[in-house]
Amino acid sequence: MQDSEKLEMANRSSHVHLKSRRRIVFDNFLGGISWGVGSVIGASIVVGIIGIIVIRTSTIPLIGDLVRVVMNEIQTGVNEITKNTTE
25-74, pLDDT tens digit by residue? 999 999 999 999 999 999 999 999 988 887 777 666 777 778 788 888 98
Q: What are phi and psi of 16, to 5 degrees?
A: -90, 120
Q: What are phi and psi of 20, to 5 degrees?
A: -75, 160
Cβ pair 58, 67 in contact under 8 A: yes
Whether this model's pTM surpasses 0.75:
no
Q: What are phi and psi of 40, to 5 degrees?
A: -65, -45
Which residue type, as a one-letter code, is found at position 73? E
Task: Give the domain ranges of the chain.
Answer: 17-86
Reduced to 3 states (helix: H, G, I; strand: E, B; else coil), residue 18 is: coil
Cβ pair 63, 57 in contact under 8 A: yes
